[in-house]
Structure 1
């Protein structure tokens, strides 16, 4: 039984990590086309991705939208999570389900809805449209992660602060916030990674000359099929894995998921 369990474990790891290994190796190819096994070994494609202007501009936009949308989602999501965890709201479970809707509904449907009601109705700049669209997607992550932490935080310590003279808002910042700080940071990392790697919504909300990095990579592959895409994909995957690993080691991300 032990041998079978270990064998299945290694098969699952191979299934999960195999495509990533292929992409990393393809990025080191010395050839001019994306192939595996690599045609020789070279670092030139990993170097080239830093010289492509489209990737540079879309990377800056992805970071700006990711950070901005994550902060907005936390500003909106933390009070919602507090209300769900601390108060007996009418139809509380229904509200919790509705808040989680962007996690359930396919991204292409959300993108189409945002295109209709944000782009066509507000007629806002593309950058603002992307910011609002990604904020909509990230609010459920903020609510779920922070509410999981609040559910495990005893409410009597907050009540004690109120009895000692703190206002309800003052007790929140003095007692609750320090205790859920890890959850907020974990929600920030998870939300940022989700925003940075978002494709369906970004495809609908992008405009001429303005696109997020994942969509720019798709458009780049329509005309160029060199290993630079594999190199960039490997770097993005490594960056995301490193962020999740550090968050797990420092904050215990799995406690909030």
Structure 2
């Protein structure tokens, strides 16, 4: 087999491996049958409609949105100043700080969830919602720091120095010069954090409790008692939502420049 033919075949095989499960889920969500099967048994949109009729899905979706938006916003409030300090100043143990900040990405989510449950939630009696909020903020924080740092590295520092020389305070220069110029990076960090938090499973699995569950955990619980295609329909809708968010971010923000 010639290299010119081998390369397209390998590329096609990789693409099928990556996106094949997505097409299977979409096809299964359109099945007219009563159980989750592939190939689908007929064609029907009733399972997509049912997704919006399940009360637990609506409640857990609201919780996931709260955690994704609130946790990402909190991570940015903490991460933007941290990224600025790491990018603009030679801090003692700067690389060590970067490693510690990035640890939620490096450490498996199951370990993070178990550690939070064992050493914070149980000993201090932290509520479920508060524990989930703190956990999601901690998980998103590394993305906020890394993406905003990349944006700051692309911003010339002499622009800020010029503002200071013209009479602006350091804080004023940060809000009037730095923030407007890294706005796209902050928005990209928010979108990446939102998608990461919304789809988080391992940590949420340990910290969820009675009456308080995120949507991915609720989907797992739903499949334990019901095996109809509504879970596939919800999975397809969430996949399309994530794809739409990322595509819009790439179209208007140049998302690939920051991640």
TM-score range, shorter chain: over 0.9
Query: Whole-Å Cα distance in 1 between the matches of residues 190 and 39 of structure 2?
Result: 38
Q: Unaligned regions of 5+ residues in structure 2, if any?
A: none
Partner of 2:123: 121
1:91 Cα shift? Answer: 1.5
Partner of 2:52: 50
Query: Whole-Å Cα distance in 2 between the matches of residues 165 and 181 of structure 1?
Result: 23
Mapped pair 1:228 → 2:249: no
1:70 Cα shift? Answer: 0.4
Mapped pair 1:216 → 2:201: no
Partner of 2:198: 196
Match of 2:168 among 166, 169, 174: 166
Partner of 2:103: 101
1:180 Cα shift? Answer: 0.5
Mapped pair 1:133 → 2:135: yes
SS of alignment partner, residue 44 of structure 2: coil
1:93 Cα shift? Answer: 1.2
Q: Unaligned regions of 5+ residues in structure 1, if any?
A: none
Tell me the TM-score normalised to structure 2 length.
0.97
Query: Whole-Å Cα distance in 1 between the matches of residues 227 and 97 of structure 2?
Result: 46
Q: Deviations over 1:116-150 (max 9, x none)?
A: 23312332321111111100101000000000111
Tell me the TM-score normalised to structure 1 length.
0.98
Partner of 1:111: 113
Match of 1:251 among 235, 253, 256: 253
Query: Whole-Å Cα distance in 1 between the matches of residues 93 and 4 of structure 2?
Result: 47
Query: Whole-Å Cα distance in 2 between the matches of residues 139 and 116 of structure 1?
Result: 21
Match of 1:75 among 56, 77, 83: 77
Mapped pair 1:238 → 2:240: yes
1:99 Cα shift? Answer: 0.7
SS of alignment partner, residue 100 of structure 1: helix
1:48 Cα shift? Answer: 0.4
Query: Whole-Å Cα distance in 1 between the matches of residues 4 and 253 of structure 2?
Result: 32
1:11 Cα shift? Answer: 1.5
Between the two proteins, the alignment pairs up a number of residues equal to: 257
Q: Deviations over 1:200-225 (max 9, x none)?
A: 11011111111000000001000111
Match of 1:29 among 28, 31, 43: 31
Query: Whole-Å Cα distance in 2 between the matches of residues 115 and 125 of structure 1?
Result: 11
